[in-house]
Amino acid sequence: MSRLKNKFALITGGTAGIGLETARQFIEEGATVAVTGRSAEALEAVRQAFGAQVLAIQSDAGDTAGQQALARQIGGKWPRLDVLFINAGDVTHRALADWDEATWDQLMQTNLKGPFFLIQALLPLLANPSSVILCGSVSARIGLAQSSAYAASKAGLLSLARTLSGEFVERGIRVNGLSPGPTETAALDKLGLPAAEQQALRERIRQLVPIGRLGTPWELAKAAVYLASDESTYVVGSELLVDGGVGNL
């Protein structure tokens, strides 16, 4: 398989779940891949799994200064960047009354501010043509209780897919959103809720899906491969929903 042959691809939050499976599929399709993550242990597991096929970089998606350092590291290794998949995210869910400013700031830095400044830092490296994929969420389209801050951050990220596409269109840089629905990943265990509330929210999430099941990282990664490949060169400033019908039915 060679849908991504000769492409250099960076995946943020690539040590687990959708990001890790996307790295696997990008490699299988011929890409040269780098992934980021905060955990040294998780990054080492990626190195053990893929060996020299992947460049594993420790980086905090919410650290604005760190985005410049990441761009310098990528620029020192690669001649260009053909694909950027912004996948790292903070999935904290809370009732409005339980939010505090520090937690809000952390979520927004990871989900919106960090990605914005990473794209800025990588702009000189982005090839013509290239593809930037922003991982949104169907939560930006629906009214799921306790998702207010998370959904707002993802709505902002999806807006960037449109506005930055307008800004970069002359440079051949396509920016699109990829919005998962409820997906069976470890992120569901990181919602930041007490155990009983988390279980209740998980059940409500399951009931949202018209086709009656959660998605899989494999399904989301297939969509990322499409948006990264030359098969999607006419897809610009769009949002691809991979959500089991949650956002439309």
| Enzyme catalytic residues | 150
Please spell the DSSP secondary structure of 8-33, one letter per residue. EEEETT-SSHHHHHHHHHHHHTT-EE
CA–CA separation, 145 vs 207, rounded Å? 13
Residue located via tokens 């992934």: 35
DSSP assignment of 50-73 equals HGGGEEEEE--TT-HHHHHHHHHH
CA distance 60 to 117: 12
Q: Give the span between the Cα atoms of 192 and 185, in whole angstroms.
A: 15
Q: Could you give the CA distance from residue 245 to residue 237 in angstroms, rounded to a whole number?
A: 21
User: What's the rounded Cα separation, in Å, for the pair 29 and 98?
Assistant: 44
Round to whole Å and give the CA distance between 130 and 81: 7
Q: Are 112 and 158 in contact (CB under 8 A)?
A: no
Tokens 């042959």 correspond to: 5
Per-residue DSSP letter, 183 = B
d(CA 123, CA 134): 15
CA 219 vs. chain centroid, Å, equals 14
Any idea how long the chain is? 249
